[in-house]
DNA sequence: TTAATAGTGTCTGTTAGACAGTATTGC
DNA sequence: GCAATACTGTCTAACAGACACTATTAA
C-alpha cells in the first residue's frame, strides 16, 4: 500500500515519502504510407509502402541508435495532450488520427530511472510529411519501411513497441475504417484495396470490388461520390478506364464471431 | 523537452530537476457474473447478473465514497505485475483474465497530486468470490450490479473508468472467446448464450444454437465434449431435457468489415 | 400434464467464392 | 494493339433470418 493512503484527511496530508516515478513520457509510432510512381510511363497504381518515423538519438542512453519520437509529460497535460504536442513538433499537423494503445513499464526498461512510457500510434497522410521526404537520409529523422524498422535494434524497448503498434493497426485496418486516414476523401475501390493490402499484406479478396459495392453497401459502409448535378464522379488518375469514386459514410458495422 | 535529455552520457548524468509524477497506480475493474437460482422448483437457467467489485474509501480524498480497487506501483514491478498483485489481494486468485485497457492522466484527477492511473479489467468467475458474497453489505468491499455502479458517484474518475471498461468488455464479448472466463470448461449452448446476453444485453440471435453448431462449427470455434468412450457428453443441470456440452477450441476467427 | 429448455424442418432470399469474360482508354 | 485497371456474368454451395414445429423429462 502506498504511504499517502495512510493519511486521514487533507489538512494533515503529506506527499509520498517513498520513491515515485522519474517520468511519464509518451512515445509515438508514426505510420505513413508513401506512394511512388511505378515509372512505366503508363497510368498505374503507385507502389505504396508502409513506413514508420524514427529519430536518431544524440545522447546517452542509446546514443546513435534509432528511437521513437516522444517526450516527457508535465503535470498540466494528459498523456494524450503530451502525445499530440510531440506529434505537432514532428509533423506540424494536429488533426491526424492519434490513438493510445499500451503502457510500457518493465523495471529497468530505461537506464535513466523509473520511467513509464505511454505508447500511441499516429496515422499520418504522406502529404503531411512531404518535407521530411525531401531531407532524406541526411537528417537524424527518417521514415523507414516497417519491415526494415522491425529488423533494426532500436533504443529502449522501442522494437517491441513498434511490433505491438503494427499488430494493433493491422487489426484495426480490418475491423474499422481507419483506412480513410491514408486516403483522400474520395477514392477508388482500387486505391482502398491497395491501402489495406499495404498495411495488411495477407489481406486477399479477389472479389473485393463486388463485395464492397454490391453487398456491404447495403449496410452503408461506402457511398458513391457525386457531383453537384448528382452525377457519379469518376477518376482516371490511376487507370486508363475511369473508376467510380467512393467516400466513407462514417458508418462502422458491428462485428461478432457468434453471428 | 525533458531535462534529462540534455545530458550527454552516463558519467555526467543527473536526475531530473523538474517535477515528476507523484505516483503511478493501477486500478482494476473486476467483473464477475453471479448466478441465482430462479427458485421456481423446476430446473431452469439461473438469473445471471454482471457485477463489479467496489471498495468504500476510509480516508481523504473521497472518504466514504466507493472506488475501484487498486494501488500504487513500485519501481520493481511493471504495471501489469502491480495490477496482478492488487487482484491477488482482493480475490486470492492469480490465474484470471487480467487485461490493461487505458491510462487516466487528466491534470487534477487526483487531489493528492500528479497521479497517473493505469486501468485494467479482470474477469473473475463467481466461484472465486464465494466468500465475498457471504460477507455481503456489512463489509466495505462489495459487488454491485453494473447498472447500479454506473449510476453511483464514484471516487476520482472511476465512474468514467468503469464505463470505459464495460464498453471494452462488451466489444470483446462479441469478437473474442472471453465468454469462457465466465463459464466452466464444458458448457451448454444455452449457458453460453445467457452469459453473452448478461454482458451484452442487446445481443439477440434467435437461431443462436443453429449458427454456432452448424455453421461456425465449420470454422472450429466450439467442439462437442466427449467422454472417454468418445460418446457425446450431455448435461441436464439446467433443463429437463439433457443438452449437449461443448468446449472452446482455442480458435478465434479473424474478423473484417471488408469481407 | 406442464413447464422449461433443447433442438429440427423448411422456406426464401442473400452472400461467398471462383473464374472467366468484357469495357475503357492513354500510350 | 497493348497494358493496366475497371468492372460484369454466371454458377454453386453455403448462409441468414424467420417461424413453426417436435423432443425430453423432472416435478
Q: pLDDT tens across B164-189, in order?
A: 999 999 999 999 999 999 999 999 99
pLDDT of residue B92: 87
B57-B62-B65 Cα angle (round to 5): 55
What string of H, E and C letters represents the secondary structure of chain B? CCHHHHCCCHHHCCCCCCCCCCECEEEEEEEEEEEECCCCCCCCCCEEEEEEEEEECCCCCCCCCEECCEEECCCCCCHHHHHHHHHHHHHCCCCCEEEEEEEECCCCCCCCCCECEEEEEEEECHHHHHHHHHHHHHCCEEEEEHHHHHHCCCCCCHHHHHHHHHHHHHHHHHHCCHHHHHCCCCEEHHHHHHHHHHHCCCCCCCCHHHHHHHHHHHHCCEEECECCCCCECEECCCCCCCEEEEEECCCCCCCCCCC
Average pLDDT estimate for B23-52: 89
Residue owning grid cell 514532428: A90
- Find and list the nucleotides of strand D having atoms within 7 Å of a protein beta carbon: 3-9, 14-19, 23-27
Every domain of chain B and the residues it spans: 25-175, 178-248
First to last CA, chain A: 45
Residue A66 near residue A27 (C-beta atoms within 8 A) = no
Per cent of chain B over pLDDT 90 is 69
- Find and list the nucleotides of strand C having atoms within 7 Å of a protein beta carbon: 3-9, 14-19, 23-27
Q: Tell me: pLDDT of B1 over 80.
A: no
CA dihedral angle for residue A255, residue A247, residue A206, residue A257, rounded to 10 degrees: 0
Test B20 with A20 for CB contact under 8 angstroms: yes
Across the interface, of B23, B221, B254, the residue whose CB is closest to A20 is B23
| pLDDT per position as a tens digit, A143-193 | 999 999 999 999 999 999 999 999 999 999 999 999 999 999 999 999 999
Contact, B194 CB vs strand C, < 7 Å:
no
Average pLDDT estimate for B214-224: 82
| Secondary structure element (H or E) that encloses residue A120, with its range | strand A117-124
Can you state the percent helix, strand and coil of chain A, rounding each to 5? 35, 25, 40
The pTM (predicted TM-score) of the whole model is: 0.92
Q: Which residue has the higher pLDDT, B220 or A173?
A: A173
Closest CA to D5 C1' — which residue?
A239
Residues of B whose CB is below 8 A from A116 = 24, 79, 116
Across the interface, of B21, B75, B208, the residue whose CB is closest to A259 is B208
pLDDT of residue A43: 77
Length of chain A: 259
A97-A102-A107 Cα angle (round to 5): 145
Residue owning grid cell 499516429: A122
Q: Tell me: pLDDT of B151 over 90.
A: yes
Test B60 with A252 for CB contact under 8 angstroms: no
Distance CA A124, CA A50 (A): 11
Test A10 with B111 for CB contact under 8 angstroms: yes
pLDDT of residue A56: 95
The grid coordinates listed for B51 are: 457485477
Q: Does domain A25-175 have CATH number 3.90.79.10?
A: yes
Q: Tell me: pLDDT of B4 over 60.
A: no
Q: Tell me: pLDDT of B6 over 60.
A: no
The grid coordinates listed for B52 are: 463489479
> Residues 217-256 of A near strand D (Cβ < 7 Å)?
238-244
Nearest CA in chain A to B11: A60
Distance D21 C1' – B244 CA (angstroms): 20
A64-A66-A71 Cα angle (round to 5): 100
pLDDT of residue A120: 98
Across the interface, of B76, B114, B259, the residue whose CB is closest to A208 is B259
Distance C26 C1' – A222 CA (angstroms): 29
Average pLDDT estimate for B200-213: 91
Closest CA to C17 C1' — which residue?
A207
Closest CA to D14 C1' — which residue?
B215
| pLDDT per position as a tens digit, B64-92 | 999 999 999 999 999 999 999 999 988 88
10-residue averages of pLDDT along chain A (259 residues) = 46 69 98 86 84 94 96 97 94 92 98 98 89 62 96 98 98 95 95 96 91 80 91 92 94 87
pLDDT of residue B20: 96
Amino acid at each position: 500500500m502506498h504511504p499517502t493512503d495512510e493519511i486521514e484527511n487533507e489538512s494533515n496530508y503529506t506527499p509520498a515519502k517513498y520513491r515515485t516515478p522519474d517520468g511519464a513520457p509518451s512515445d509515438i509510432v508514426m505510420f505513413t504510407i508513401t506512394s511512388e510512381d511505378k515509372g512505366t510511363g503508363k497510368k498505374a497504381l503507385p507502389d505504396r509502402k508502409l513506413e514508420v518515423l524514427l529519430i536518431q538519438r544524440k545522447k546517452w542512453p542509446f546514443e546513435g541508435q534509432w528511437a521513437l519520437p516522444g517526450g516527457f509529460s508535465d503535470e498540466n497535460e494528459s498523456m494524450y495532450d503530451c502525445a499530440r504536442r510531440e506529434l505537432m513538433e514532428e509533423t506540424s499537423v494536429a488533426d491526424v488520427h492519434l490513438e493510445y494503445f499500451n503502457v510500457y513499464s518493465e523495471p529497468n526498461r530505461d537506464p535513466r530511472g523509473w520511467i513509464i512510457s505511454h505508447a500511441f500510434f499516429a496515422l499520418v497522410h504522406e502529404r503531411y510529411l512531404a518535407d521530411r521526404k525531401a531531407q532524406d537520409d541526411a537528417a537524424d529523422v527518417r521514415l523507414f519501411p516497417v519491415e526494415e524498422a522491425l529488423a533494426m535494434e532500436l533504443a529502449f524497448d522501442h522494437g517491441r513497441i513498434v511490433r505491438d503498434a503494427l499488430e494493433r493497426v493491422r487489426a484495426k485496418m480490418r475491423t474499422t475504417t481507419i483506412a480513410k486516414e491514408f486516403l483522400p476523401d474520395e477514392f477508388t475501390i482500387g486505391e482502398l484495396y491497395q491501402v489495406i493490402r499495404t498495411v495488411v499484406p495477407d489481406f486477399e479478396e479477389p472479389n473485393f470490388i463486388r463485395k464492397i459495392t454490391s453487398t456491404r453497401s447495403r449496410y452503408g459502409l461506402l457511398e458513391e461520390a457525386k457531383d453537384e448535378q448528382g452525377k457519379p464522379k469518376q477518376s482516371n488518375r490511376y487507370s486508363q478506364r475511369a473508376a467510380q469514386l467512393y467516400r466513407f459514410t462514417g458508418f462502422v458495422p458491428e462485428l461478432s464471431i457468434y453471428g
